[in-house]
Amino acid sequence: MSETAESLHIAVIGTGVIGAAWVSGFLAAGHTVTAFDPAPGAENRLRSQLTDRTASASAPQTDQIRFASDIADAVADADFIQENGPERLEVKQSMLADIAEAAPPNAIIASSTSGFAPSEIAARTRNKPERIVVGHPFNPAHLVPLVEVVPTPNAPTEVVERALEIYRSIGKKPILVRAELPGHVVNRLQAALWQEAYSLVNRGVVSVADIDTAISYGPGLRWAVLGPLALQHLSGGEGGMQHVLDHLGPPQEVWMHDLEQVHLDDQLKDKLVAGVDAELFGRDEKRIAAQRDSMLRDIIELKKRYEELP
């Protein structure tokens, strides 16, 4: 954290996969963290994960964390709260109601929910529900910079701006989502790709491994550099996006309208599971995950060197 940046008091509620990642990010940026998770052994698990991550470049300051005895204790002095409980609506609603009851009135409350709308999870909150936003991260969340911020329709501008600013302060790259939709924006984009990938596998057009090769050795390489729309613009040469849409728009529409809806029945699930097993046969999954993280770190560092790219 730079000397001028403020140090905030952050509460992280639920310290499973995603909560632990948020704790590392907030600590590494110089904020203090109070965490709470009711699972037996949760504090030890969190501390040992943080210790493992101290080997990385952005080592979390493990002395800046306190483990609280309940939600009220965790959020009592918080400036910002990140909720990461189980993805079940009634659990989220109850956790957020408890958090809002005990948090200072100006604290912002963000939920990591992968798909619920902020209005849905705030439905049982009586104490200033308009300060509840979705702050949806991406796995592995201690590395991937993207966070989707989804406010409720009547959220004050200050709440939205402040949430975006706090995420930027820990090196995240937030985007603002201006409507409440199932899956927010990014899981919908992923769902569009998954739908066609599953359909192509189901029809026997390509294998699971072929789909993964096609993306990770093809468009996926470019997508880490520039998004799919800016890339489309570049592919149009001097005519840019206008030329691409005029020239390739009509066939593109044919492809878009030919996409098939899939239903995840047992037969398709079996094909997908067997396909991934065949693709990864003989490889060590722990090493795959570690190499994914290591390569992601390299790519994220590399991106900082190319200032002309958005």
Positions that interact with ligand NAD (CB under 6 A): 13-19, 36-39, 42, 84-87, 95, 112-114, 136-137, 139
Question: What whole-number distance in Å separates Cα of residue 250 and Cα of residue 189?
Answer: 21
Task: Identify which of residues 183 and 236 has a Cβ nearer to ligand NAD in the complex.
Answer: 183
Facing residues of 168 across strands? Answer: none
Angle (CA) 16 21 24, round 5°: 125
Question: What whole-number distance in Å separates Cα of residue 101 and Cα of residue 78?
Answer: 13
User: Least distance (Å) from ligand NAD to the CB of residue 137?
Assistant: 5
User: Least distance (Å) from ligand NAD to the CB of residue 280?
Assistant: 18
Task: Identify which of residues 94 and 207 has a Cβ nearer to ligand NAD in the complex.
Answer: 94
User: Least distance (Å) from ligand NAD to the CB of residue 138?
Assistant: 6
Residue nearest to ligand NAD (CB): 16
12 φ, ψ (degrees, to nearest 5): -115, 115
User: Least distance (Å) from ligand NAD to the CB of residue 27?
Assistant: 17
Task: Identify which of residues 27 and 110 has a Cβ nearer to ligand NAD in the complex.
Answer: 110
- Residue of 234, 305, 37, 14 whose CA lies nearest to 141: 14
User: Least distance (Å) from ligand NAD to the CB of residue 28?
Assistant: 18
CA torsion 10→166→146→109, rounded to 10°? 50
User: Least distance (Å) from ligand NAD to the CB of residue 169?
Assistant: 20
Task: Identify which of residues 32 and 113 has a Cβ nearer to ligand NAD in the complex.
Answer: 113
Task: Identify which of residues 114 and 199 has a Cβ nearer to ligand NAD in the complex.
Answer: 114
CA 305 and chain centroid, separation: 23
Task: Identify which of residues 30 and 135 has a Cβ nearer to ligand NAD in the complex.
Answer: 135
Residue 37: partners with Cβ closer than 8 Å, 6 or more residues away: 13, 14, 15, 16, 19, 43, 46
Cβ contact 183:191 at 8 Å: yes
